[in-house]
Amino acid sequence: MGIGMLILQNKWILEILYMLLVSSICLVIVSKADRFYRLSSHQGIRYFRNAFLFFALGFIIRYIFGLFSDFSLGYYEVVRGMFEYSLVMAGFFLLYSLIWKKFEFSKRDDETSLFNGKIMVFHSIAVIVAILDILWENYNFMFASQIMTFLFASIISFANYKQMKKHKFPKFYFVAMFLGLVAWVLNFLVATCFNWSPIVLIDIGLINGIFFLLILCGVIKITNGSKKA
Instruction: Give residue 138's domain range.
Output: 3-103+111-223
104 phi and psi, to 5 degrees? -120, 120
CATH classification at residue 208 = 1.20.1070.10
Counting residues of the chain whose pLDDT is more than 70, the rounded percentage is: 83
Distance (Å, rounded) from C-alpha 73 to C-alpha 65? 12
What pLDDT, on the 0 to 100 scale, is given for residue 25? 95
Domain presence at residue 229:
no
Distance (Å, rounded) from C-alpha 74 to C-alpha 45? 37
If you average pLDDT over residues 116-138, what whole number do you get? Answer: 93
Write the pLDDT tens digit of every residue in 4-35: 555 556 667 777 888 889 999 999 999 999 99
Tell me the CB-side half-sphere exposure of residue 16, using CA atoms within 13 A: 7
Distance (Å, rounded) from C-alpha 75 to C-alpha 93? 27
Distance (Å, rounded) from C-alpha 27 to C-alpha 14? 20
Residue type, 86: S
Average pLDDT taken over every residue of the chain? 84
Q: Which of 131, 61, 55 is nearest to 94 (CA)?
A: 55
Q: Is the dihedral of CA 207, 154, 188, 135 positive or negative?
A: positive
Residue 1 — pLDDT band, cuts 50, 70, 90?
very low
Domain presence at residue 228:
no
Neighbours of 105 (CB within 10 A): 7
Domain presence at residue 24:
yes
Write the pLDDT tens digit of every residue in 169-204: 777 788 889 999 999 999 999 988 888 777 778 778
Domain presence at residue 174:
yes
Residue 141 — pLDDT band, cuts 50, 70, 90?
very high
Domain presence at residue 62:
yes
| Residue predicted with more confidence, 128 or 102 | 128
Write the pLDDT tens digit of every residue in 60-96: 988 776 665 555 556 778 888 999 999 999 999 999 9
Domain presence at residue 11:
yes
What pLDDT, on the 0 to 100 scale, is given for residue 54? 97
2: left (phi over 0), alpha (psi -120 to 50) or beta: beta
In the chain, the number of structural domains is 1
What pLDDT, on the 0 to 100 scale, is given for residue 196? 75
Domain presence at residue 129:
yes
Distance (Å, rounded) from C-alpha 11 to C-alpha 17? 10
Which whole-number Å values give the CA distances from 54 to 114, 160, 206, 214, in the listed order?
Answer: 10, 24, 20, 18
| Residue predicted with more confidence, 81 or 222 | 81
Domain presence at residue 203:
yes
Where in the chain does DSSP place strands (E)? none
